[in-house]
Chains A and B, each alone.
Chain A
Amino acid sequence: MSHEAEAGLPPGILGHHFSSLARQNEAARLGMWLFLATEILLFAGLFTGYAVYRFQFPEAFAECSRHLELTLGTVNTVVLITSSLTVALAIHFARTNRPRAAAACLVITILFALAFLGIKAVEYTAHFHEKSLPGKYYAFEEVKIPGAAMFFSLYFLMTGLHALHVIAGMIVLGFNCWHTLHGRYSSRYYTGLELGGMYWHLVDMVWIFLYPLLYLI
């Protein structure tokens, strides 16, 4: 407790088993990158499944892709890219000792995330109406060739898992925002906020690949 007070840190940040905050920060970043590596490999499994079936059903994938709402997908790409910027700015404001600006950026990020999910919900609703659904629920009138149901299985799995990550990211950023407003992050310590931001950037990175692979075949 006393070493935290001496460093001007709020209590509960520097673990007693770390000899310095710099070492704790380095360990935290390394741990976060290890976790993100497992996330990358989790999505890589789905991308590999996508590669296999796109290789086997190129016409069906191209045809189904053209029935997705390209405009909504593009808008969502811009939304997520901009939300990545606002997270990066939140960390920038925290480390330059402007916690209110940082919290505002985090709130904007969460609003972007909600907008993303709202647009995705509009797309999902359309799929349910036209029955472009996975597996045996597929009954889309406009594309009736082998492999079309597989495209929509992968589409729902990939965008669905991504949407779960968006929701998880919103929760993480919500905690980050609360902590920022309560003075936890400053130029002395902002690692917790940085790690939350890294998670959000990973969510953005996954979408950067999903967008051309699903919407622009």
Chain B
Amino acid sequence: MSESGHPTRELHPEDHHEENGHSAIPYLVVWILLLFFTVLTYLTGKQHLGTWALPIALAIACTKSALVAVIFMHLKDSSGSTRLVFGTSLVFVALLLFFTVADVATRFRPSTPAGAPFGTERSQPEGLLEHELPE
């Protein structure tokens, strides 16, 4: 790079990129899909599907977020380094959630908050603190 001394620099070919051919149709398609998934999460959420409610809700939310990230935030046109940053943040979110929930799920009664009705009896060792067990 021998740019020092030159008052003007070579401009990258992409600097002159004209974008009049850019289309807004993908944005409208994504918007309609996002509305569709919102209705879907509303309808499935109102059913209170028990065990499946949370996985379904999260799957829909992840799909919606992926649409926003890939199309609205232009991740599909991004370089590998930006994708790597986004992907890495998701990996760390998954690590944080997984190990924290795994910890809480395998605790025994004295280490859970007062009144917690779940996750206690299951891992309760036999004969320990029986007077504290709920009816």
Contacts and interface: CB of A to CB of B under 8 A. Distances in A.
A205 B75 CA distance: 14
A52 B15 CA distance: 49
Interface range, A side: 35 or more
Contact of A52 (B7, B28, B104): B104
Given A89-B24, A212-B45, A33 B116 contact: no
A29 interface: yes
A204 B7 CA distance: 44
Nearest to A73: B42
Nearest to B74: A194
A44 to B, nearest CB: 4
Interface in B1-47: 1, 3, 7-12, 14-20, 22, 24, 27-28, 30-31, 34-35, 38, 41-42, 45-46
Contacts of B10: 19-20
A216 B42 CA distance: 7
A34 interface: yes
A58 B116 CA distance: 9
Contact of B119 (A7, A56, A213, A216): A56
B115 A198 contact: no
Nearest to A39: B89
Interface stretch (A77-85, A119-127, A151-159): A77-85
Interface string A22-37: 1100100110011011
A70 B9 CA distance: 57
B101 A41 contact: no
A198 B73 contact: yes
B37 to A, nearest CB: 9
A122 B74 CA distance: 34
A81 B34 contact: yes
Given A204-B68, A211-B41, A59 B117 contact: yes
Contact of B97 (A22, A51, A205): A51
25 contacts: A3-B9, A6-B11, A19-B10, A23-B12, A30-B79, A45-B96, A81-B34, A82-B31, A84-B31, A85-B27, A88-B24, A88-B71, A92-B24, A95-B19, A95-B22, A96-B22, A146-B117, A187-B17, A197-B72, A201-B68, A204-B68, A208-B64, A212-B61, A216-B46, A217-B53
Interface of A: 2-3, 6-7, 19-23, 26, 29-30, 33-34, 36-37, 40-41, 44-45, 47-48, 51-52, 55-59, 62, 70, 74, 77-78, 81-82, 84-85, 87-89, 92, 95-97, 145-147, 187-188, 194, 197-198, 201-202, 204-205, 208-209, 211-213, 215-217
Interface of B: 1, 3, 7-12, 14-20, 22, 24, 27-28, 30-31, 34-35, 38, 41-42, 45-46, 48, 53, 57-58, 60-61, 64-65, 68-69, 71-74, 78-79, 81-82, 85-86, 88-90, 92-93, 96-97, 100-101, 104-105, 112-119
